């Protein structure tokens, strides 16, 4: 049973992503739609992805300075792509 493996937050994210894809008539759920829904629904995900000192960059310190775009800029581009805003 899939419900045994998903937390309530994960279910909310997947549900939001499904609704988004149906509304936009997207045939299958993409990782981008899941990420966007995660950012909209989960405060934890928002904190990890959008906080000033990037957790991912801190974890992979060897890559510091090699990021091509800041996370906030990437999220704004995803916003424009998905919502046209």
> Residues 54, 21: contact at Cβ < 8 Å?
no
The whole-angstrom separation of Cα 45 and Cα 38 is: 6
Q: pTM for the whole thing? A: 0.53
> Residues 78, 35: contact at Cβ < 8 Å?
yes
pLDDT in tens, the chain (85 residues): 566 777 888 888 889 999 999 999 989 988 889 988 988 898 888 876 776 565 665 666 544 555 566 777 777 877 787 776 5
For the beta carbon of residue 46, count every other beta carbon within 10 angstroms.
Answer: 14
């Amino acid at each position: 049973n899939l419900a045994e493996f998903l937390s309530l937050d994960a279910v909310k994210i997947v549900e939001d992503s499904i609704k988004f894809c149906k509304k936009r008539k997207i045939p299958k759920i993409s990782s981008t739609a899941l990420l966007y829904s995660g950012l909209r629904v989960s405060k934890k995900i928002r904190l990890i992805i959008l906080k000033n000192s990037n957790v991912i960059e801190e974890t992979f310190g060897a890559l510091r300075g090699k990021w091509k775009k800041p996370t906030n800029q990437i999220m704004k581009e995803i916003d424009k792509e998905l919502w046209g805003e």
